[in-house]
Amino acid sequence: MTQELSTTITPSVSGVAPPPTVSVVVPMYNEVANAVPLIDAIQSALAAAPWPWELIVVDDGSADGTADALQARAAQLGSHIRVISLWRNFRQTAAMQAGIDAARGDVIVTLDGDLQNDPKDIPALVDKLLREDLDLVAGWRVNRQDGLWLRKVPSKIANHLIRKLTGLPFRDLGCSLKVYRTRVLRQVRLFGEMHRFIPAWMATVTSPRRMAEAPVSHHARTAGVSKYGLSRTFRVIVDLLSVHFFLKYSARPGHFFGGLGLVIMALGMGILSYLGVLKIMGESVVGRPLFFFGFFCVVSAIQLLTTGVLAELLIRIYFTRELPAKPYYAAPELTPQADAGWHRSS
């Protein structure tokens, strides 16, 4: 279990709690044409926000000058905009985790850096989370502006599979525009390409009843090149199997490996028993392919059963010992400078 890094709100002198703070996290990779327009769009959308906010843009090892463009614009607008530059391209999940680790707000907002998500939707989503006392509000791209066969159809298939395996009713988990309560989000860690499944991971630490979905705007990409393709669908399926395993068997991995092992063991023993009867009847069975198949089934079953025992030992160590959360990305600085502030509406 990762250590919870909750953000507390200190009451003011008058006894009235100050407004919650909001951190906007945006990972970017080779989006130099969108760097300045993105910052300006967020600045405009949140200029009159009723809560203090900051913007954290994570450059995921871009090679096209994205980091320089972000740094220059941030220096012009103020210390409420922070740019984190990872040493190399660690991919979107790691970049998003870096921004979450650096965020200081009570609420964290995530969105893509390609300007297809509309920053103008952020205030409404934050208001819904705070007003309804939720832990997650996910955006739903009702009128999605993407290609049909390469983006929309694979996304519909992936969302259908995710709903079936996780039981969560979200219609658009691929939308990066989401709003989280920080103290809950920081109870999970993101690895691999698991940013698509954050609601599923959050379901392990909070109730699905504290999650909601809200319609948001979606725009066609006007600059830069999309980083997504049809291959993403296959990665989603592989990741979904991992999510299913952790949701169903994280506390009892022996049941998963042991169940498979017993099924394969039964198959192998059945084959060998059948061949044993043939051997008694005088037939030669050693050179048959079925003999080798039955033999390897038994060996594989033994390996799965022993793997289940080892997994049970490891999971007990995991749940009974505090392990430090070590980031799997590298960046020069993840903490704010001494003069880094919040943007407050006048």
Q: Give residue-wise pLDDT tens across range 269-305.
A: 999 999 999 888 888 887 789 989 999 999 999 999 9
- Structurally, at CATH architecture level, domain 22-249 sits in Alpha-Beta Complex (3.90)
pLDDT digits (tens, 9 = 90+) for 181-240: 999 999 888 877 777 788 888 888 888 899 999 999 988 877 767 666 555 666 777 777
The more confident residue out of 312 and 323 is 312
pLDDT at 145 over 70: no
Provide the phi-psi class of 280: left if phi over 0, else alpha when psi is between -120 and 50, else beta. Answer: alpha
Q: What is the DSSP secondary-structure string of 97-152?
A: HHHHHH--SSEEEE--SSS-B-GGGHHHHHHHHHHTT-SEEEEEETT--S-IIIII
Dist CA 278 CA 220 (whole Å): 67
CA-CA distances (angstroms) from residue 91 to 177, 191, 292, 326?
Answer: 17, 10, 43, 17
The more confident residue out of 145 and 90 is 90
Q: What percent of the chain lies above the pLDDT cut of 70?
A: 81
- The per-residue pLDDT for 335 is 59
Dist CA 60 CA 67 (whole Å): 9
pLDDT digits (tens, 9 = 90+) for 153-195: 666 777 777 777 777 778 887 788 999 999 999 988 887 777 7
CA neighbor of 252 nearest in space, from 186, 187, 318, 190: 318
pLDDT digits (tens, 9 = 90+) for 18-32: 889 999 999 999 999
- The per-residue pLDDT for 4 is 39
- The per-residue pLDDT for 5 is 38
Please, what sign has the CA dihedral across residues 162, 167, 171, 177?
negative
- The per-residue pLDDT for 295 is 92
Q: Which range (37-46, 74-83, 185-194, 299-308) has the least confidence? A: 185-194
Please, what sign has the CA dihedral across residues 103, 107, 112, 117?
negative
Tell how strand 211-216 and strand 178-181 pair up: unpaired
pLDDT at 15 over 60: no
Q: Which helix (H) or strand (E) holds 58?
A: strand 53-59
Q: What is the DSSP secondary-structure string of 167-201?
A: ----S-TT---EEEEHHHHTTS---TTGGGGHHHH
